[in-house]
Structure 1
Amino acid sequence: MKPEIIVTKEDLYQAVENLIYGQLDEDTFSDDEAIATIIKQHIESKIEDII
């Protein structure tokens, strides 16, 4: 049985914030990568909500 992973709204906000602020320090991190990562995390959290 798969261990349950709880993702709160606060966790998602923090992840998005980390991506945005982290991007300021890392020139190689493109906007497309940031958007793709945010979307991926959002989808994963929705999947966890359904399971």
Structure 2
Amino acid sequence: MQRFINHEFSQSFINISLGVVVSALVLSIVLSLLFPKKEEVAEDTSSE
């Protein structure tokens, strides 16, 4: 915490880090909407 108070972390570094995290979240949401999990079809072969 002391390093943060002493401004050892620049604002651009924080912005880039947040951008990477937000991009990963958005990408995962978009991909899950484009490629939803396929429903598993239960094949019941014992009834035939």
TM-score range, shorter chain: 0.3 to 0.5
- Decide which structure has greater helix share: 1
For normalisation by structure 2, the TM-score amounts to 0.47
Higher relative contact order (CA 8 A, sep 6+): 1
For normalisation by structure 1, the TM-score amounts to 0.45
